[in-house]
């Protein structure tokens, strides 16, 4: 009988050992699944953080563009006023009476204030002469035939152009461009 009990105990132990192995294998499989899920979650989190960062950067760039170019329309409306003041100054400077001299001083003061505002908002004037004609910032209004100045040079600025933030043309400068004498093409 002792041998039967020993045999029964061994069988029970074997059955218990088989159950533990199954539980251990199941636990290992569950741990692998949990680790895989955790890695997937981390990957998704990193991807989401990266997307949010890109979105934030893009949004900040858009806000900067809006800030940078929001004045464009109002400045374009002011340009004819500035042109009129420049022309008035040019006409008054041709006269020499005391009244005109006082007018010139006052208009020059107003004009300097306007230029300060333009500078404050990073608006630059396109009004240089003796530089090569650039169709991106100049509009040719007339041609001057001469042998004294190289071909395709700006010889006169009829109306100043303006550039916002050194990248956006508000208005091209209206210019006279040089051509060689005898070259009528």
C-alpha to C-alpha distance for 155 and 131, rounded to whole angstroms: 8
Tokens matching residue 24? 């251990």
Find the length of the chain. Answer: 185
Per-residue pLDDT tens digits for 122-175 = 999 999 999 999 999 999 999 999 888 899 999 999 999 999 988 899 999 999
79: Cβ contacts below 8 Å, ≥ 6 apart: 162, 170, 171
C-alpha to C-alpha distance for 142 and 36, rounded to whole angstroms: 75
Q: What pLDDT shows up at residue 56?
A: 92
Per-residue pLDDT tens digits for 54-109 = 999 999 998 888 877 788 888 888 899 999 888 888 888 887 777 788 888 888 99
Phi, psi of 171 (to 5 degrees): -160, 135
Fold of 123-185: Nucleotide Exchange Factor Grpe; Chain A, domain 2 (2.30.22)
Q: What is the reported pTM?
A: 0.61
Split at pLDDT 50, 70, 90, the class of 178 is very high
Q: What pLDDT shows up at residue 105?
A: 86
How far apart, in Å, are the Cα atoms of 71 and each of 24, 100, 121, 160, 164? 71, 34, 8, 19, 9
Q: What pLDDT shows up at residue 156?
A: 95
């Amino acid at each position: 009988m002792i041998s039967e009990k020993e045999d029964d105990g061994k069988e029970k132990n074997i059955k218990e050992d088989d159950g533990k192995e199954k539980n251990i294998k199941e636990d290992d499989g569950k741990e692998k699944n949990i680790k895989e899920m955790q890695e997937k979650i981390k990957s998704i989190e990193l991807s989401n953080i990266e997307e949010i960062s890109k979105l934030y950067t893009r949004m900040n760039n858009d806000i900067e563009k809006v800030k940078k170019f929001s004045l464009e329309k109002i400045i374009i409306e002011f340009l004819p006023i500035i042109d009129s003041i420049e022309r008035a100054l040019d006409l008054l400077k041709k006269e020499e009476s005391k009244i005109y001299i006082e007018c010139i001083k006052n208009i020059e003061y107003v004009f300097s204030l306007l230029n300060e505002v333009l500078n404050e908002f990073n608006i630059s004037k396109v009004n240089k002469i003796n530089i090569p004609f650039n169709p991106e910032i100049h509009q040719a209004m007339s041609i001057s035939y001469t042998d004294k100045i190289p071909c395709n040079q700006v010889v006169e600025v009829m109306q100043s152009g303006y550039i916002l933030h050194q990248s956006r043309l508000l208005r091209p400068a209206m210019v006279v461009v040089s051509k060689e004498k005898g070259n009528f093409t």
